[in-house]
Each structure stands twice: as structure tokens, then as C-alpha cells.
């Protein structure tokens, strides 16, 4: 189903949870709403489901207005972070619930439940109760239950937030395969960028109730539209800088910037893996710390007149030869961007 959202707004008291949000989701795609907690991404999802009403704005399902439809008749499937399974019903009764309330014939319900048990790898567990299942199994029951009535769109609210890291990775890959198999238009909310980039076709980056960027994972990684996006995605270094033409100056650093930025005061944003450094005297920076994580080394150095900088290297990189805490290094930045220095962007990014 094609979904269109126009100028959605929702306030909770003085707090603007959703602030003039517009986007479209094309039929059959898998889209992630990515953002820090409290950014409004869940509220957007709940408005789409009819669990929350928008103060203003419109929602369209396949060109039909859906803004005022009751949750019961929207034909959406919803998966909650904490599963929200009916604890007094068995796995089979949970999955069949959506068909049962529509008075679908018993034999047809049984057949569909069986299909979904097979699809979700839960065959043999149909008589269990939710309390007798693991977290990963519960979430798959929740998915099967949402899919049983063949919804036109599947909405997932932090679907893997409550399971441990290993199961989460399995479930992600499984969700992607499931989506490719079933093909139902799906939107899921996450605060985990890895999850958003590894699973979805498109990512909508949400912050303070607004959409910062709407693009494919590659577009967002390679061309962050705003400073927020650049800082949110991956580990970055941010320096106050002065921009003139296509170069930015910050202390001893003078780098070419990608894209364009208006001349004047700016924030220079450099990803930790978009720079090189090697031992050189006098150089521009002093190495402070080196930490090894398996196959990678994280180098922290102090750039003259600019401040601390963090760089990641493969552990056996030839660039690291002779580099040790206390030595002087030269820094070369391969890719950097500059964003106008606005007062609001000086705030640290909300924890994710």
C-alpha cells in the first residue's frame, strides 16, 4: 500500500512530538523511522495505526483519506516493542485472533495459523502460552499475529528492542527475508542506526518531531543533509570553523569541504574513518591515546588550535607505523562537511 503523510502535527501539552511531518512510502517498501528517543518517531507510527490522533495534517492510504479512520478498520498490522501478546491465549489463538474477531470460518483460521507458524518457524509451539516462550519467539508470534489478517501495511515499533543482541541480529535478517517474501509495505521505528541501515530500503531520520532527511541508507551515509544527520550517523569529530569558498579552517586544520556551505562561521564535521594520520614532526597534532578493538585501532589526538580528534584505522595499517601516545602527527582529511553554525545545533545530540 502506498502511504502519504502531509503536514502531520501532534502536541502533548507544550511538547511538539510531531512537528509538520510529510513523507511518502511507496508500495511494498521497507522503511525505517530512525531517531533518538523522544524524537517523535513512535508517535508518527502510532498516528499511522490510529492509536493516536493527529492535531492537524492528513494521512492517505492508497490515495484514500485515512486520517479519521478507527484503528479497528485501518487494516494495519502492528508489532509492539514488548510483544503485547494476549497472555491468556495460546500461540495459535494469538495468531488467529485477528481472523477470529472478523468471524472467519474456523477451518480457514486454522489453515492460516498453520501457514504463519511455518513462515515464522514456530511450528510445534501452537499450544504454548506466551510466558512459555523466549523473547525472540514471542516477537515472532507477535509478527505472525499482525500478519494473519493480511494487513495492507505492517507497522513495527522498536520491534527488536526487548531481545538480546544476538537474537536481535537474527530477527533483523529474518525480518528482511520475510519482507522480501511477503512483500507487505512495512514501516519500523528504531533508534539503532545499524538496524535501520541493514534492514530498510529507505530511512527517514527524525529529530525533534521533524524529518531531518529522507533517503536510502547510502544517501544518508554519503550525503547527510544536516549537521544532525552527520553527527547521528557514525562517530564524528566536530570543530568550530571558518568557511571560505570550498575550504574550512579550524586551528591548524585547513580542509577541503564536500558540497557547499555559506562562508562564515560553521561546524566542520569529519567522520572518524574519513581521515588519515601519520608520524611527522612538527605535524599538526599530538597523539593522546590509542585503544585497540579487535581488528581496529582508535586513535585520539589533540589538533593544535582545534581540539581533540578521533580516528579509526585497521589495526595493521602501515600509517600507524611509529605512531604512539605523545608523538606528533600530520592529519589529512579525505572527506569533510561544513554546516552553518546555528545556535540550536550547538546542543549535544540526545543519547541514543
Residues lying near another protein in the complex (CB under 8 A): 49-51, 71-74, 76-78, 80-82, 84-89, 97-98, 101-102, 142, 145-146, 149
Cβ at position 12, least distance to another protein in Å: 15
Q: Name the residue nearer to another protein (CB basis): 189 or 275.
A: 189
Three-state secondary structure of the chain? CCEEEEEEEEEECCEEEEEEEEEEECCCCEEEEECCCCCCHHHHHHHHHCCCCCCEEEEEECCEECCCCCHHHCCEEEECCCCCCCCCCCHHHHHHHHHHCCCCCHHHHHHHHHHHHHHCCCCCCCCCCHHHCCHHHHHHHHHHHHHCCCCCEEEEECCCCCCCHHHHHHHHHHHHHHHHHHCCEEEEEECCHHHHHHHCCEEEEEECCEEEEEECHHHHHHCCCCHHHHHHCCCEEEEEEEEECCEEEECCEEEECCCCCCCEEEEEEEECCCEEEEECCCCCEEEEEEEEECCEEEEEEEECCCEEEEEEEECCCHHHCCCCCCCEEEEEECCCEEEECCCHHHCCCCCC
Q: Name the residue nearer to another protein (CB basis): 60 or 80.
A: 80
Cβ at position 255, least distance to another protein in Å: 48
Cβ at position 138, least distance to another protein in Å: 12
Q: Name the residue nearer to another protein (CB basis): 80 or 273.
A: 80
Cβ at position 87, least distance to another protein in Å: 8
Q: Name the residue nearer to another protein (CB basis): 12 or 86.
A: 86
Q: Name the residue nearer to another protein (CB basis): 49 or 302.
A: 49
Cβ at position 51, least distance to another protein in Å: 5
Cβ at position 145, least distance to another protein in Å: 7
Q: Name the residue nearer to another protein (CB basis): 89 or 349.
A: 89
Amino acid at each position: 500500500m502506498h502511504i502519504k503523510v502531509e503536514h502531520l502535527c501532534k502536541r502533548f501539552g507544550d511538547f511538539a512530538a510531531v512537528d509538520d511531518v510529510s513523507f511518502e512510502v511507496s508500495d511494498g517498501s521497507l522503511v525505517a523511522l530512525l531517531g533518538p528517543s523522544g524524537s517523535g518517531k513512535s508517535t508518527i507510527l502510532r498516528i499511522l495505526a490510529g492509536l493516536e490522533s493527529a492535531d492537524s495534517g492528513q494521512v492517505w492510504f492508497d490515495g484514500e483519506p485515512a486520517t479519521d479512520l478507527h484503528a479497528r478498520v485501518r487494516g494495519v498490522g502492528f508489532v509492539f516493542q514488548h510483544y503485547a501478546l494476549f497472555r491468556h491465549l495460546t500461540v495459535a489463538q494469538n495468531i488467529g485472533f485477528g481472523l477470529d474477531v472478523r468471524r472467519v470460518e474456523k477451518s480457514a483460521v486454522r489453515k492460516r495459523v498453520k501457514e504463519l507458524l511455518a513462515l515464522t518457524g514456530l511450528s510445534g509451539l501452537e499450544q504454548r502460552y506466551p510466558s512459555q516462550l523466549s523473547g525472540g519467539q514471542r516477537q515472532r508470534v507477535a509478527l505472525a499475529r499482525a500478519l494473519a489478517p493480511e494487513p495492507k501495511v505492517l507497522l513495527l515499533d522498536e520491534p527488536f528492542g526487548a531481545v538480546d543482541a544476538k537474537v536481535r541480529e537474527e530477527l533483523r535478517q529474518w525480518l528482511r527475508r520475510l519482507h522480501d517474501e511477503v512483500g507487505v509495505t512495512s514501516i519500523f521505528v528504531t533508534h539503532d542506526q545499524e538496524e535501520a541501515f541493514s534492514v530498510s530500503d529507505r530511512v527517514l531520520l527524525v529529530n525533534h518531531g521533524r524529518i531531518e532527511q529522507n533517503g536510502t541508507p547510502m544517501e544518508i551515509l554519503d550525503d547527510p543533509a544536516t549537521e544532525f544527520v552527520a553527527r547521528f550517523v557514525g562517530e564524528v569529530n566536530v570543530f568550530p570553523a571558518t568557511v571560505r569558498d570550498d575550504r574550512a579552517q579550524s586551528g591548524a586544520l585547513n580542509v577541503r569541504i564536500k558540497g557547499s556551505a555559506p562562508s562564515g562561521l560553521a561546524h566542520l564535521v569529519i567522520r572518524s574513518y574519513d581521515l588519515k594520520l601519520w608520524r611527522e614532526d612538527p605535524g599538526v597534532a599530538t597523539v593522546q591515546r590509542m585503544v585497540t578493538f579487535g581488528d581496529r585501532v582508535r586513535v585520539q589526538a589533540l589538533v593544535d588550535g582545534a581540539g581533540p580528534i578521533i580516528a579509526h584505522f585497521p589495526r595493521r595499517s602501515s600509517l600507524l607505523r611509529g605512531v604512539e601516545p605523545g608523538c606528533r602527527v600530520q592529519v589529512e582529511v579525505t572527506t569533510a562537511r561544513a554546516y552553518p553554525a546555528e545556535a540550536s545545533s550547538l546542543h549535544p545530540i540526545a543519547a541514543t
